[in-house]
């Protein structure tokens, strides 16, 4: 609320013309007041949401000023011209009536002019230092009010009572429970990761007490780090991290576009009071960032749903064009994750999410499309470098009614995945979806993290009034599938680093997939006279990220440093290599094998390693001596 307060000898008004659709009825056409404080009021969009705070603060200010100027007479005058962020008429009248009553309850004489009319008025200002003052009432949102911004879905998730099952590859559904630290109801022998994942899910504890291993790696490898100048959960990415992130973003996007996803771009902030969006917020289990802009109260998106749904609402769609696939890579999405849940790249407040929605004409088409996307997601994660299904655990979350009516469809998912699947079942639907599945990574600390997820949404077609023309000529609302084929890009990076740690516990070398390694080949000259030959070799290697270790360290130290950077191929260049034109190449594998090969053989080897995956240049100086150190 904005106030302009005038200590007046005399104030009078007369209504002249009603504003169509806004004019308040039953009020006096004329009014006047002598020796009064005139409060010109603009009720703003957020005021009705925090009406108690707004009215309380406004009354405190008005009565305080009235006491200072020694008057007990208040004229409340609605005045829209103080703000560009006005409340709707019904909210404005509601706030003004509450303010009028509160001023009267404070023992003052109060008169209010009618809302929604053009009026003429005369006011005589006394002209002393306190006779003209303005005030902006910004409602104080205390802890209780902040809790009200948590969505109903998130509150439901916190208290939801789930039944847990294992769905085997033959379609058998086995009830399971946690008892004395053990999972009872299904033999999980040889499936330690699945057992750990089930413990994690049943406990529903998302707090992180110790620093996960990948945080050490993301810093040591100069991939990413915490940013002390920002909000927690917003990271900085060094050149190597930005390269890895960019490769993953481009790879996932290209695969989704090959599948038929039409790439769009949408805003990162949306009107908190937009009716469709406001309703959806309460159905999505996430905490939002909210901002008061000069014009309205907005929230930062936590997914690409808003932009794609609003775009689909405005589109003309026929059943012939369905399933209709829309895609956006959101850089960034935002969720106010709790501080105890934030941990490195695993759980962030700002993250990059590939988000692909499919509008489907009915449940059967939605189920068919979900299976197409199931295979798409599995191939994307497999090509990124995960061993499917061994390294990821599948979960299905479903309402009991939907499961009973679609048993075979869900069983086919488990058969297709090739491993037993965790099933969480609800007796009632808390969210906007009936079914979702996930591919989850389980880290060294036993924490499960969803990568891929897809959902069958039965609410938002109607909520956003998205319509398509069916074969019978009728206008209908589609079902919507929500797919993130890889999950958040940062979480993929986390999973790759954590997997490297898990493999190191088995005696394997820590490494990233070759195509994601910032440096794919390091050339180490034995002495400065071999530096030019290293430059020549580097120039011969196309589509290989190669650099040269030209510092004054010893060869042994250079090799050890390269190994600390997880560089997959290292070649030492000395007199022998120069005379024989044969390279001695060390490969980052168990046992640190060394090979002698020609440059052409090395080219073919590295081409096989790349496997046609997304590639980019080094993005850093060729010579290590020209690079700054970002960490340490």
Residues 433, 482: contact at Cβ < 8 Å? yes
Strand, coil or helix: 1: coil
Specify the CATH superfamily of domain 155-497: Bira Bifunctional Protein; Domain 2 (3.30.930.10)
Residues 356, 327: contact at Cβ < 8 Å? yes
How far apart (Å, rounded) are the C-alpha atoms in residues 277 and 539?
54
CATH architecture group of domain 2-146: 3-Layer(bba) Sandwich (3.50)
Flag whether pLDDT at 206 surpasses 70: no
When the pLDDT of each residue in the chain is averaged and rounded to a whole number, the result is 92
Q: Which of 591, 592, 497, 480 is nearest to 572 (CA)?
A: 592
DSSP string, 459-511: SHHHHTT--EE-TTS-EEPPEEEEEESS--HHHHHHHHHHHHHHHHTTTPPP-
Residue extents of the structural domains in the chain: 2-146, 155-497, 514-626
DSSP string, 568-616: SEEEEE-HHHHHH--EEEEESSTT--EEEE-HHHHHHHHHHHHTT----
Q: What percent of the chain has pLDDT over 90?
A: 77
How far apart (Å, rounded) are the C-alpha atoms in residues 535 and 546?
10
Give the tens place of pLDDT for each residue, 560-610: 999 999 999 999 999 988 888 899 999 999 887 899 999 999 999 999 999
CATH assignment, 514-626: 3.40.50.800
Residues 434, 363: contact at Cβ < 8 Å? no
Strand, coil or helix: 43: coil
Average pLDDT over residues 524-548: 95
pLDDT of residue 142: 45
- Tell me, letter by letter, the H, E, C secondary structure of 353-412: EEEEEEEECCHHHHHHHHHHHHHHHHHHHHHHCCCCCCCCEEEEEEEHHHHHHCHHHHHH
pLDDT of residue 153: 56
| Position 156 confidence tier, pLDDT thresholds 50, 70, 90 | low
Give the tens place of pLDDT for each residue, 34-71: 999 999 999 998 888 888 889 999 999 999 999 999 99
Q: Which of 309, 311, 352, 345 is nearest to 330 (CA)?
A: 352
pLDDT of residue 159: 55
How far apart (Å, rounded) are the C-alpha atoms in residues 218 and 221?
5
Structure tokens at 2: 């904005």
555 burial level (CB within 10 Å; 0-12, 13-18, 19+):
middle
Average pLDDT over residues 431-460: 95
| Range in 203-207, 296-300, 501-505 with the lowest mean pLDDT | 203-207
- Containing 334, the helix (H) or strand (E) segment is strand 324-334
Residues 77, 41: contact at Cβ < 8 Å? yes
Greater confidence, 228 or 370? Answer: 370
| Position 273 confidence tier, pLDDT thresholds 50, 70, 90 | confident
């Amino acid at each position: 609320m904005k106030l302009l307060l005038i200590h007046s000898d005399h104030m009078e008004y007369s209504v002249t013309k009603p504003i169509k659709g806004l004019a308040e009825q039953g009020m006096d056409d004329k009014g006047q007041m002598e020796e009064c404080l005139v409060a010109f009021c603009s009720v703003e969009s957020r005021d009705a949401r925090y009406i108690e705070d707004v009215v309380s603060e406004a009354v405190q200010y008005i009565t305080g000023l009235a006491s200072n100027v020694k008057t007990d007479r208040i004229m409340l005058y609605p005045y829209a011209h103080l703000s560009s962020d006005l409340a709707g008429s019904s909210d404005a009248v509601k706030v003004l009536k509450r303010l009028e009553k509160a001023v009267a309850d404070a023992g003052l004489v109060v008169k209010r002019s009618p809302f929604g009319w053009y009026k003429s008025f005369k006011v005589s200002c006394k002209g002393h230092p306190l006779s003209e003052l303005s005030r902006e009432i910004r409602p104080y949102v205390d802890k209780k009010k902040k809790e009200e911004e948590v969505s109903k879905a998130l509150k439901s998730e916190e208290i939801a009572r789930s039944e847990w099952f294992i769905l085997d590859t033959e379609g058998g559904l086995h009830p399971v429970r946690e008892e004395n630290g053990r999972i009872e109801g299904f033999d999980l022998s040889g499936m330690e990761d699945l057992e750990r994942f089930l413990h994690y899910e049943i406990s529903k504890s998302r707090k992180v007490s110790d620093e996960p291993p990948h945080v050490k790696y993301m810093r040591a490898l100069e991939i990413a780090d915490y940013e002390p100048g920002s909000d927690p959960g917003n990271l900085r990415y060094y050149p190597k991290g930005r390269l890895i992130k960019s490769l993953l973003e481009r790879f996932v996007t290209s695969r989704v576009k090959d599948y038929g996803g039409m790439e769009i771009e949408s805003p990162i902030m949306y009107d908190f009071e937009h009716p469709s969006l406001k309703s959806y917020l309460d159905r999505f289990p996430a905490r939002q960032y909210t901002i008061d802009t000069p014009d309205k109260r907005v929230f930062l998106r936590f997914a690409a749903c808003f932009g794609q749904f609003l775009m689909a609402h405005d589109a003309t769609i026929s059943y012939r064009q369905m399933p209709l696939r829309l895609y956006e890579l959101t850089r960034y999405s935002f969720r106010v994750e709790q501080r105890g849940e934030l941990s490195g790249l695993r759980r962030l407040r700002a993250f990059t999410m590939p988000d692909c929605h499919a509008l489907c004409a009915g449940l059967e088409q939605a189920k068919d499309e979900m299976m197409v996307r199931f295979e798409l997601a599995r191939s994307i994660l497999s090509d990124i470098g995960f061993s499917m299904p061994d390294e990821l655990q599948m979960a299905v979350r479903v309402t009991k009614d939907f499961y009973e009516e679609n048993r075979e469809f869900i069983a086919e998912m488990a058969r297709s995945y090739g491993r037993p699947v965790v099933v969480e079942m609800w007796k009632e639907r808390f969210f906007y979806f009936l079914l979702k599945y996930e591919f989850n990574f389980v880290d060294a600390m036993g924490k499960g993290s969803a990568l891929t997820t897809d959902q069958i949404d039965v609410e938002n077609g109607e909520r956003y009034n998205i319509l398509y023309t069916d074969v019978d000529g009728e206008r209908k609302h589609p079902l919507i599938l929500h797919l993130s084929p890889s999950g958040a890009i940062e979480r993929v990076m986390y999973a790759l680093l954590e997997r490297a740690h898990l493999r190191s516990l088995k005696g394997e070398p820590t490494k990233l997939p070759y195509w994601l390694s910032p440096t794919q080949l390091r050339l180490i000259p034995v002495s400065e006279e071999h530096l030019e030959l290293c430059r020549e070799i580097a120039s011969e290697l196309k589509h290989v990220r190669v650099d040269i270790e030209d510092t004054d360290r010893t060869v042994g130290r250079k090799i050890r440093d390269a190994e600390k950077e997880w560089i997959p191929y290292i070649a030492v260049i000395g007199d022998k290599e120069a005379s024989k034109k044969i390279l001695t190449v060390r490969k980052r594998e168990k046992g640190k094998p060394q090979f002698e090969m020609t440059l052409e053989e090395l080219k073919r080897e590295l081409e096989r390693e790349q496997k046609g995956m997304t590639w980019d240049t080094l993005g850093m100086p060729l010579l290590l001596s020209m690079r700054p150190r970002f960490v340490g």
